[in-house]
């Protein structure tokens, strides 16, 4: 059974870059879409963006200028970089897998596996 | 882009049936699939409904989903409520390669 594990610094200074990695175990990163979702304290879920195993991406328009998501198939992991962070970027960050909808169909739009999440605090 | 609007909170008694709504602000709700996620306190979200009305294996048939073009909304219905159903529920859809979550509904079973 595939499992996802987020890792990265729990504390980032304002104006710096947040960097997280999601390691995929129990399954291959190939063929699937991989997303980052975040949840500010006490608030709802916000989609950050996704990367396809081939490297193509799509981002939340509200974050697009600051976000980069990349994939490393050789290491079976994918990563998030969010630049120029502020306190508003303080959140629990989840990595997720898009679903296999059958045959050659893989979708980024239904996230069927989630990591446990990692908390990132932006503070000086 | 569009928004998905959910009631902030809903309460219902054990054994009863509750329906949670999710209204799309623009564009048709039937154009793109809707998913529903359950998030219990301290846990990651899990899917209870995908592709409008399909249940993942392991999700009881007490959970059902539907979409209604006339109200441009999706609904999650939970019958035979138990205290285990107490959680936050998020609807989610997409358009033009952008994923959107609703703000979530806190379901209290008391």
Size (chain B), residues: 110
In chain A, which residues have their Cβ closer than 8 Å to the Cβ of B4? none
Q: Is the distance from CB of B54 to CB of B27 less than 8 angstroms?
A: no
pLDDT tens, per residue, chain B with 110 residues: 899 999 999 999 999 999 999 999 999 999 999 999 999 999 999 999 999 999 999 999 999 999 999 999 999 999 999 999 999 999 999 999 999 999 999 999 99
Closest B-chain CA to A44: B103
Mode of pairing for the β-strands spanning B73-78 and B18-24: antiparallel
Taking the CB of residue A116, how many other CB atoms lie within 10 A of it? 14
Judged by DSSP in three states, B85 sits in helix
Contact status of B50 with chain A (Cβ, < 8 Å): yes
A110 and B104 within 8 Å at the Cβ level: the answer is no
Beta-ladder partners of A71: A78
């Amino acid at each position: 059974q595939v499992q996802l594990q987020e890792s990265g610094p729990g504390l980032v200074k304002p104006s710096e870059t947040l960097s997280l990695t999601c390691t995929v175990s129990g399954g291959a990163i190939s063929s699937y879409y991989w997303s980052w979702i975040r949840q500010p304290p006490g608030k709802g879920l916000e989609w950050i963006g996704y990367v396809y195993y081939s490297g193509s991406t799509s981002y939340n328009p509200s974050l697009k200028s600051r976000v980069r998501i990349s994939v490393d198939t050789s290491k079976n992991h994918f990563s998030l970089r969010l630049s120029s962070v502020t306190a508003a970027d303080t959140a629990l960050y989840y990595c997720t897998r898009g679903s296999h909808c059958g045959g050659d169909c893989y979708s980024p739009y239904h996230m069927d596996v989630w990591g446990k999440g990692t908390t990132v605090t932006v503070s000086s | 882009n569009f928004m998905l609007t959910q009631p902030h909170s809903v309460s219902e008694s054990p054994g009863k049936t509750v329906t949670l709504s999710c209204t799309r602000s623009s564009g048709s709700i039937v154009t793109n699939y809707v998913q529903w996620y359950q998030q219990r306190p301290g846990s990651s979200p899990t899917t209870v409904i995908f592709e409008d009305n399909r249940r993942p294996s392991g999700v009881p048939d007490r959970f059902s989903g539907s979409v209604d073009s006339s109200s441009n909304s999706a609904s999650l219905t939970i019958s035979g409520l138990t205290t285990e159903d107490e959680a936050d529920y998020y609807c989610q859809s997409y358009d033009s390669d952008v994923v959107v979550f609703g703000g979530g509904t806190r379901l209290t079973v008391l």
